[in-house]
């Protein structure tokens, strides 16, 4: 049986802070942060192309900052030929790559994303903990 990491931590494009709830007590040695540029999130409503480019640039910068701080980051770029195009699809691919025993996420800012996350436990047969987003701007 494939022995993986302890925790997969998805970090969304509106959660670019080292202080989000999912990272607070995580062990960088036994966790992987998953960051995803996916078509589903870029196109569910119309956005200016410059806004999407700015968001992806900010995500890439944050991923590098996390790596410098000692985190292992699995970053999926929009132009990756294997990019599934969806958050759930990319979590599925990360589950295969890393075989985590659980998923810990910070509550997303959108209900539709929260609903998708709530299905992950059954879909991936791993516990999913969704922690309250207690950042000032989100509370």
Neighbours of 133 (CB within 10 A): 20
CATH code for the domain defined by 7-138 = 3.40.50.620
pLDDT of residue 46: 72
pLDDT of residue 4: 76
Separation of alpha carbons 104 and 106, rounded Å: 7
Give residue limits of the domains in the chain.
Answer: 7-138
pLDDT of residue 36: 96
pLDDT in tens, the chain (139 residues): 456 789 999 999 999 999 999 999 999 999 999 999 987 766 666 777 888 888 999 999 999 999 999 999 999 999 999 989 899 999 999 999 999 999 999 999 889 999 999 999 999 999 999 999 988 765 4
Instruction: Supply the pTM of this predicted model.
Output: 0.90
Residue 6 makes CB contacts below 8 A (sequence gap 6+) with 27, 30, 31, 100, 101, 102
Contact 87, 10 (CB under 8 A): yes
Contact 6, 30 (CB under 8 A): yes
């Amino acid at each position: 049986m494939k022995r993986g990491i302890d925790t997969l931590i998805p970090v969304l494009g509106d959660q670019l802070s080292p202080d989000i709830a999912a990272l607070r007590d995580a062990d960088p040695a036994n966790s992987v942060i998953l960051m995803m540029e996916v078509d589903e999130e870029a196109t569910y409503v119309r956005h200016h192309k410059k806004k999407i480019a700015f968001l992806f640039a900010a995500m890439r910068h944050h991923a590098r900052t996390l790596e410098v701080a000692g985190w292992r980051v699995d970053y999926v770029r929009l132009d990756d030929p294997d990019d599934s195009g969806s958050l759930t699809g990319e979590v599925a691919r990360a589950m295969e790559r890393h075989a985590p025993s659980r998923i810990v996420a910070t509550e997303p800012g959108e209900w539709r994303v929260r609903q998708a996350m709530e299905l992950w436990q059954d879909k991936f047969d791993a516990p999913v903990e969704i922690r309250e987003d207690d950042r000032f701007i989100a509370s």
